[in-house]
A and B are shown apart, each in its own frame.
Chain A
Amino acid sequence: MSGAFGSAGLLLAGLALAAPLVLAALGGIMSERGGVVNIALEGMMLTGAFTGMWVGQVYGNAAGIGAALVSGLMLGILHYVLTQKLRLNHIISGVAINLLAVNATTYLVRAVFNVEGREAKIASAIPVGAFVGLSALLVGVLHFVLYRTTFGLRLRCSGESAETARMAGVNPFRYRLYGLMLSGILAASAGAYLSMSQTTRFSDNMVNGRGFIALAAVVCGRWTPVGAALAALAFGFFDALQIQLQGRVQMPTEFLQMLPYLFTILAAMLLRSTPPAALGREE
């Protein structure tokens, strides 16, 4: 009896934990299939979480979500300008965006909210189910977009070979920009979920490595929406299981928490030939 309830609860908890990973992983795919390494997912999520809470507190949740998406869009464009126009190394750009996001949001919580004695929270949570449904829907939509539309073909071509894209009359830079805009929006929506749905407040560095786990899901899912979503689901359920098992089993939970990272190293090691061919290349 309690076992049946336990497993239904586990299922729901797993979905709730997987939803932001799925959204951010889809963001990672839209960037990396276009050829741009995006380790800035973490910073994009954190910025989305903060902006959503900030605007949502004053103007309501709908405006908050809108603002979060715009903040992600801006960071996507920033990553585009830095890596494609200024030819900055993709990793350096990502590291800097992450560092900027964590410090700027933590700074603003102190300089704006704490000084004015406001709490960094919104009045009411958006239902978790809305985000879970959205992320499931987007897996299908983005699969279709990537493999069944001209846009998807051109985006993937830009990621495989900029030369080929150019010969086919496609401007790879333009599709990378579109990919990164989508990437920022998706990652920011994952962040907004954390501060506006799963909880109703923003806390320091609340994304806490989920952006990197999403990146891991992209690698484990071989840069495909369905594969990455399955990997993200596995990580989400694993996390839920690990939370349920805390204090109940003899095995230290730290070892359970390590497993997604170990699994990712193994997957990255075994799936070496699958990244988009022009990924991270500076031409």
Chain B
Amino acid sequence: MTARMRSLAQPAIALALAFGVAAVLIAATCGEPFPRSMNAAGESFAALFRGAFGDTNGLLRTLAKSTPLLLSGLAVTVALRAGLFNIGAEGQLLVGGLASAWAGYALNGLPTVIHLPVAIAAGASAGALWAFVPGILKAWRGTHEVIVTIMMNYIAIHLTHYLVNGPLRDPTTRQTATPLVLPSARIWSLPGSTNFSAGLFLALAAAVAVAFLLRRTALGFEIRAVGLGPDAARASGIPVGRTLVTAMCLSGALAGVAGAVEVLAVHHRFLDQFSPGYGFDSIAVALLGGLDATGVTLASLLFGGLKSGANEMYTQTQTPVQIVGVVQAMVILAIGVRYVRKRRAG
């Protein structure tokens, strides 16, 4: 088998395995005897894919769900290429979303060409700041980034909850939310319920930028070198600590932009607990995508499709939407084994 074929065959095998496990779970709980119970699984998956890719609205919804997954999947990718597990994308996404919401409603009188970039930059900066903490602790003290990013997630949840419930709360709405961002800071989105927005193009641009960064720049080379072996990287003169901090901040900035896009394009305000775990799904997206910008783009489309199709599946077949999460978990396991094997061999 050629390397190219193998790089396509392995995600396919992982997906088949994941859907197989999910099918068994659906069949075991649908209350039908064996041969017919497999039909129930088949019908659920058919409804899932019809909902995700079957018509224009479904496709637009899929693209809308893919947008934050692509950005946060790129975030996890950049960090993991440097050998860092950024489990904290969820927290970075939350603080990024809140910062961009604040910049979006509090800064008055700016034209869109200035206001919108400022609001997005606010999200990116807040996310980068949130990721700077685990990055600098790793570089300076060797503190394990997984512990720190997990803790930073919870701090972000409590902090944003406090701010959106108190100082930044919009008193005129019964939701726990900030005021609406001004029209000058909104990302263009399609009218209707699909939530499709120009944020997708921003995410695709970020994918191109990440690909360019990793493949064509000195910083990208340093990030990859540190990820393959910090000792060898240090021996060849690469500033390991600085590279780790930079990679982590870039990662946090991308996750922050994911939050900013959700706020500025979809909700138009920061809603408490608005993220259905995009930051956690991003780990699966990054691994399925093989830590490569093109792969991550395809993986985010697939997982976005699973998310958008899940509701259709539930309406038509009453299969609970969490089956999609089971598929994601199995994908991580199946791909994870492959990823480690490949890194070992290479």
Give me the interface of A with B, judged by CB distance under 8 Å.
Answer: 37, 39, 82, 86-89, 91-93, 95-97, 99-100, 102-104, 106-108, 110-112, 115, 209, 212, 215-216, 219, 252, 254-255, 257-258, 261-262, 264-265, 268-269, 272, 275, 282
Contact = CB atoms under 8 A, between A and B. Distances in A.
Contacts of B154: 209, 212, 258, 261
Given A103-B323, A268-B143, A254 B329 contact: no
B150 A39 contact: yes
A254 B148 contact: no
Interface in B28-80: 29-31
The secondary structure that dominates the B interface is helix
B324 to A, nearest CB: 8
Contacts of B324: 103
Interface string B314-346: 000011101111101110110011011100100
A265 B148 contact: yes
Given A91-B146, A96-B329, A261-B151, A254 B162 contact: yes
Contacts, number: 136
Interface of B: 25-26, 29-31, 85, 87, 133, 137, 141-144, 146-148, 150-152, 154-155, 158-159, 161-162, 165-166, 280, 283-284, 287, 318-320, 322-326, 328-330, 332-333, 336-337, 339-341, 344
B29 A108 contact: yes
Contacts of B29: 107-108, 111-112
Task: Pick the 8 closest A-B CB pairs, nearest first.
Answer: A103-B325, A254-B162, A100-B329, A110-B320, A107-B322, A99-B329, A92-B336, A96-B332
Contacts of B26: 111
Contact of A268 (B148, B320, B322, B332): B148
A259 to B, nearest CB: 10
A272 B141 contact: yes
A268 B333 contact: no
Given A100-B325, A107-B320, 16 more contacts: A39-B146, A82-B333, A82-B337, A87-B341, A88-B340, A89-B340, A92-B339, A96-B330, A106-B320, A106-B325, A111-B26, A212-B154, A216-B151, A257-B158, A258-B158, A262-B151
Contacts of B31: 115
Nearest to A209: B154
